[in-house]
Amino acid sequence: MYEQFARYYDLIFPFRDATYRFLKSWLKNDRNRILDLGCGTGGYLARFAQEGHEVVGIDLNETMLQMAKQRCPQGTWLALDLKNLDELPARLPRDRNERFDLIFCTGNVLSYLAPDELGQAIGAIFNLLKPQGHWIFQVVNWQNILRQTTFVFPVIENREQGVRFIRAYNNLTPAGAIFQTRLEKDGKIIFEDAHRLFAHNSHDLRALHEKNNFKKVGFYGDFKKAPFQPDESGALIGVFKKEN
């Protein structure tokens, strides 16, 4: 079933210039090592690779990793769970087993991790970064969403391809929600799923990062660097730095 979803991934989540420019703005060198956690089909890393950067992507979906490899053969693509991120150095080829200048994770992937799992992942990310390296994540703004009992996202639709992607958060509690998704093609359901998500608000995220020796650079409400507004922003984008 997940293979079906992979076929439509780029239609549902297309490459966005604003996201790429935001990520790129934190690079300080002409050639950097970049890691994408939950890379999907590798669109952002492929663009970075075109500009001469060394890229590594991890994901759980083998089909999407194969698509990423076809798109960017020079990249390194690995099936790895964020819960086991400390295993990454042992999985990398010896000639690519260095620390990273930039690590990023978009698309609310961190909300799939329970608080203790997230803390472990943040510690692993710190160890994977070079000194002065940056770590960037995007999650939904749970402080805004949790003011409701049910939250329905706008439908993502590609009329030319006959594709509709429907998402909703149900059973909302301070701890999180059930994330229900449905993918339709020409009016027929080809994918349905439900997952438990954990609500990590800005206060908790800042505390977890400080506990793991990160320095906060900024919280933003979108990839155009709008200020983060806890009661209004749809997303929370965090930028943290490893100083030494």
Angle between helices 17-24 and 43-50 (to 10 degrees): 60
Question: What does the alpha-carbon distance between residue 242 and residue 132 come to, in Å, rounded to a whole number?
Answer: 5
Please report the pLDDT score of residue 2 as a whole number: 60
5 or 233, higher pLDDT:
233
Give the dihedral sign, CA 72/78/84/85: negative
How many angstroms from the chain centroid is the CA of residue 39? Answer: 7
- Looking at residue 125, what is its pLDDT? 98
What's the pLDDT at 38?
Answer: 97
Instruction: Find the mean pLDDT for residues 189-216.
Output: 96
Interatomic CA distance for residues 219 and 235, integer angstroms: 10
pTM here?
0.95
Residue 94 has pLDDT above 80, yes or no: no
The residues that bridge with 178 in the sheet, in sequence order, are 170, 196
Torsion of the alpha carbons at 126, 139, 207 and 55, rounded to the nearest 10: 10
Q: Which of 93, 120, 104 is nearest to 32 (CA)?
A: 104
Give per-residue pLDDT as tens, 54-75.
Answer: 999 999 999 999 999 999 999 9
Asked whether the predicted pLDDT for residue 97 surpasses 80, the reply is: no
- Closest listed residue to residue 76, CA positions, set 101, 102, 104, 95: 95
Strand, helix or coil for residue 83: helix
- What average pLDDT does this structure show over 42-50? 98
pLDDT given at position 185: 93
Average pLDDT value for the chain: 95
Q: What is the pLDDT of residue 96?
A: 67
- Name which of 125, 132, 142, 128 is nearest 209 in CA terms: 125
Tell me the average pLDDT across 171-180: 95
Looking at this protein, which amino acid is placed at residue 17?
Answer: D
C-alpha closest to that of 19 among 126, 136, 135: 136
Work out the angle between the directed axes of helices 202-211 and 115-128 (0-180°, nearest 10). 50
Q: What is the pLDDT of residues 105-123, one digit of tens each?
A: 999 999 999 999 999 999 9
Q: In the structure encoding, which two tokens stand for residue 162, read together?
A: 């006959």
